[in-house]
Structure 1
Amino acid sequence: MQSSPALLPTLTPQALVVLAPLRAETARSRAELATQTGLSPSTVTARIDPLIAAGVVVETGPDDSRGGRRPRRLAVRGGLGTVGSVDLGVERSTIGLIDYAGVPLAHRHLALDLAEGPDAVVRRLAAELASLGAAHGAPALTGAAIALPGPVSAETGALVAPSRMPGWHGVDAAALLAASLGVPALAGNDANCMAVGELVGGDPLAINQVFIKAGSGIGSGVIALGQLYTGRSGAAGDISHVSVPGASPVACSCGRVGCLDAVASGSALTRAARDAGRDVSDVDMVIDLARNGDALATKLLRDAGSMTGGVLATIVNFFTPDRLVVGGALSASDVFVAGIRSRLWADCLPMVTERLEVSPPRHPRTGGILGAARLFLDAVFGSPSAREALRLPSP
């Protein structure tokens, strides 16, 4: 699959105003765009018609009638380009192809050894994306995005001291991927990308969410008013190194002891189970032991859920989200999730939890690639500064 330049034409700020609700699927007709944006129907038409003529927006058929003439349904044209999206994991990685309407075209799961180093891993990812595109007859790539299992600086785009990625500190994975593929690329933290992935096909009214990825490590992403919130540094929502009161003084990669990641992550539980004589190699095996009635595994999972819930209670009390999404390998454990729930309901105000939805991910195996691609497309359809960061022409 050969790479090609971005096909998206230059967009004015006025055009971006009407494109945003179409991309978020909160509006699908001219009338709904007028309601969403506060623009007059004639102004909406004046902005949409040139986008249709340019092939950026398409009319996909009649929409539901509310009396009178049936409106024409509008959507962003997916064929504007293709994003090669990667969710890089310590134990399992996923790659996918997503069109410019945010529709997934194909995906594949991979086993990669991150210890081989960034250059070798990125070369493998580029080859796998090319293979995936060829296998499915997908259009040429016009962009790429990668979700990484470590902190990503919002200022430099580089990884910052990732605890399970030896040799990756300071690496600009987006730049490596862009060089390998010959297209613009974007990088983000995996929990943040999964949080954004929850917005794909989700409830448009659930605009405040917290996503927790509880797998080999523990991380979280925050969606505020329908947008990813990363803070100035990019570390907003990262709960990995929050100290757990009363936890065992287990040494953490950050140099402290008793951090949530060190005592409640999948890696921590696997290590604790092995130390107690259980023959396990990963957290999935610990979960299986608990399902088969192993008392130690059950206690480890319950305690980990309770510790995680205690940290999340502070966030939930402060933020009062609509949804708390529990993803990652540990979300498969009912005992772990029950531990989170019980601690939240014990530590949070009733008015905070009475309407709180605690749920599994909408896209448990593809949320990372969907979210990473959406962040790339947000930049493509975004402000001049966002486009400049991807080295795209500014409107």
Structure 2
Amino acid sequence: MGAGGATDVGTAGSATARGLARAEPSRSARHPGPGDLLHLVRSGRATTRGALQQVTGLSRATVGQRLDRLFRAGWLREGAGDPVESPLGGRPSIRLEFDDAHAVVLAADLETRHARAALLTLGGEIVAERSWPLAIEDGPDAVLGDLGARFGELLRESGHPAASVCGIGLAVPGPVDSATGRVVQPPIMPGWDGYDIRGRLARALAEETRTAAGAGTPADLPVLVDNDANLMAYGEQRTHYPACSAFALVKVSTGIGAGVVVDGAVYRGIDGGAGDIGHIRVPEGTDTLCKCGSYGCLAAVASGRAVARRLTEAGAPAASGSDVRALLEAGDPQAVGLAREAGRHVGEVLATVVTLLNPGVLMIAGDLAGTPFLTGVRELLYQRALPRSTAHLDVVTSRLGERAALIGAATLVVEHLYAPERVEERLAALGV
């Protein structure tokens, strides 16, 4: 998580310095700080003291001073592998590594009918995990209170103290204003609009982990909230497609949403509304009422909820996308036919999405993401989109499966907390 690619000790120092200058002209252009050095190590661009000197232009003493702070914070360690040839000559250098065991992250993925939570290392390894049924319409106070209790169980189960948690990542099935962490007019989350998710979840965990001595996670623990499709896209792209500069994921479960990652960052739009393709109007749904209150939305005719409704009408009771998935796994012919038809509806909309974004990877995920649905998507997508838009496009299904949003949420927390511009502040808070 966050560390990827090979060590690039041969990169010209001046070229990389210019890159740092473009990223942070007010600071990094002249005085790369400990956050910049940590970023170079985590990204694999420079993993020895000599390489850091060459890339940043800093003196040996200055690099040593900055690294010393990172070592004292417990964020860096010396690698156990073979020494690396120094780009500056002399004896081989010890490889530096980000110590991903010095803290843990809690992450959760809330669906309309079930939830999944996990405790992960900073490297993205799942240490403990659990899932359970829930009803998102029960409201944020009850759902987040329960989630805090589940997080406490994960900490006790794994043996990690509450103080080891550095942050929480949360995926929700609705549009999120990333600046505030609040959902904005969510069609399938009644009672959640504008609710203080960050504060409630941090308090719930603090209450759950408070001991007789009063110790526990702080009530102001960083909590990052984002749309589930965004975090699924982020987790999949960072884990399996890091070289793809334009990545799109479409989640088709009870609802329909999309996540887009451009140049390694989630694209959210002005206020978190990007990717809400489930509410694009389609001709086939003119007379069909959507959960959002409008008629003709894509989700009203092609989501898991829509397919479940049609199956129920045909005599095969189903209430949600997960019920449809169970029927698809059982090979139910009605479910297979309706899933393929839903895929064609989604593929028609995706022809426009692909033409606009020109992604290298289009991933289909969620309860309906099986062969019948994918076949329908491909039929209409390649028929309606220009050949130029699909010439270098890979249409694939999820590789992380039900853990995609968890991995994405944890990655988002780590990238936020260890970003170069935030490291100095956090080191000072630690007294380092």
Is TM-score (shorter-chain normalized) higher than 0.5?
Answer: yes
> Do the aligned partners of residues 170 and 113 (structure 1) sit closer, same or farther apart at CA in structure 2, a change above 3 Å counting?
same
Higher mean C-alpha deviation, range 88-97 or range 113-122 = 113-122
1:128 is displaced (CA, Å) by 0.9
Matched, 1:39 2:74: no
TM-score (norm 2): 0.78
Q: Which amino acid aligns with 1:58?
A: R
- RMSD of equivalent CA atoms: 3.2
Alpha carbons 2:84, 2:95 under 8 Å: kept: no
Matched, 1:371 2:408: yes
In structure 1, C-alpha distance between the alignment counterparts of 2:92 and 2:346, rounded to whole Å: 50
In structure 2, C-alpha distance between the alignment counterparts of 1:118 and 1:84, rounded to whole Å: 18
Larger radius of gyration: 2
Matched, 1:157 2:165: no
Tell me the number of residue pairs that the alignment of Structure 1 and Structure 2 aligns.
378
Equivalent residue number for residue 98 of structure 1: 120
In structure 2, C-alpha distance between the alignment counterparts of 1:118 and 1:387, rounded to whole Å: 34
In structure 2, C-alpha distance between the alignment counterparts of 1:340 and 1:40, rounded to whole Å: 51
Equivalent residue number for residue 17 of structure 1: 36
Alpha carbons 1:82, 1:139 under 8 Å: kept: no
Equivalent residue number for residue 9 of structure 1: none
Alpha carbons 2:115, 2:133 under 8 Å: kept: yes
Task: Give unpaired runs (5+ residues) of structure 2.
Answer: 1-30, 206-218
> Do the aligned partners of residues 283 and 379 (structure 1) sit closer, same or farther apart at CA in structure 2, a change above 3 Å counting?
closer
1:21 is displaced (CA, Å) by 4.7
Equivalent residue number for residue 47 of structure 2: 29
Q: Which one of the candidate residues 112, 134, 141 is aligned to 2:134?
A: 112
Q: Which amino acid aligns with 1:330?
A: L
> Do the aligned partners of residues 330 and 387 (structure 1) sit closer, same or farther apart at CA in structure 2, a change above 3 Å counting?
farther
> Do the aligned partners of residues 42 and 207 (structure 1) sit closer, same or farther apart at CA in structure 2, a change above 3 Å counting?
farther
1:17 is displaced (CA, Å) by 2.5
Q: Which one of the candidate residues 170, 186, 197 is aligned to 1:146?
A: 170
Task: Give unpaired runs (5+ residues) of structure 1.
Answer: 1-11
Alpha carbons 1:75, 1:101 under 8 Å: kept: no
In structure 2, C-alpha distance between the alignment counterparts of 1:33 and 1:369, rounded to whole Å: 34
Equivalent residue number for residue 359 of structure 1: 396
1:212 is displaced (CA, Å) by 1.2
Higher mean C-alpha deviation, range 224-233 or range 150-159 = 150-159
In structure 1, C-alpha distance between the alignment counterparts of 2:196 and 2:71, rounded to whole Å: 37
Q: Which amino acid aligns with 1:358?
A: V
In structure 2, C-alpha distance between the alignment counterparts of 1:278 and 1:387, rounded to whole Å: 59
In structure 2, C-alpha distance between the alignment counterparts of 1:189 and 1:307, rounded to whole Å: 23
1:96 is displaced (CA, Å) by 0.8
In structure 2, C-alpha distance between the alignment counterparts of 1:176 and 1:292, rounded to whole Å: 40
Equivalent residue number for residue 6 of structure 1: none
In structure 2, C-alpha distance between the alignment counterparts of 1:225 and 1:360, rounded to whole Å: 21
Equivalent residue number for residue 21 of structure 2: none
> Do the aligned partners of residues 228 and 293 (structure 1) sit closer, same or farther apart at CA in structure 2, a change above 3 Å counting?
closer
1:379 is displaced (CA, Å) by 2.0
In structure 2, C-alpha distance between the alignment counterparts of 1:98 and 1:115, rounded to whole Å: 28
Matched, 1:322 2:360: yes
1:268 is displaced (CA, Å) by 0.8
SS at match of 2:363: strand
SS at match of 1:199: helix
In structure 2, C-alpha distance between the alignment counterparts of 1:204 and 1:64, rounded to whole Å: 27
In structure 1, C-alpha distance between the alignment counterparts of 2:424 and 2:375, rounded to whole Å: 43
Alpha carbons 2:231, 2:408 under 8 Å: kept: yes
1:263 is displaced (CA, Å) by 1.1
Q: Which one of the candidate residues 343, 351, 358 is aligned to 2:380?
A: 343
SS at match of 2:182: coil
In structure 1, C-alpha distance between the alignment counterparts of 2:348 and 2:251, rounded to whole Å: 15
TM-score (norm 1): 0.84
Higher mean C-alpha deviation, range 261-270 or range 75-84 = 75-84
Q: Which amino acid aligns with 1:350?
A: P
1:28-63 Cα offsets, whole Å, 9 max, x none, are: 72389769x953486795554542354211222226
> Do the aligned partners of residues 385 and 244 (structure 1) sit closer, same or farther apart at CA in structure 2, a change above 3 Å counting?
farther
Matches within 5 A, 1:172-251: 172-181=196-205, 182=219, 183-251=221-289
1:306-342 Cα offsets, whole Å, 9 max, x none, are: 11111112121121112111111111x2110111122
Higher mean C-alpha deviation, range 221-230 or range 78-87 = 78-87
Equivalent residue number for residue 24 of structure 2: none
1:43-93 Cα offsets, whole Å, 9 max, x none, are: 795554542354211222226968997664433222332221111111221
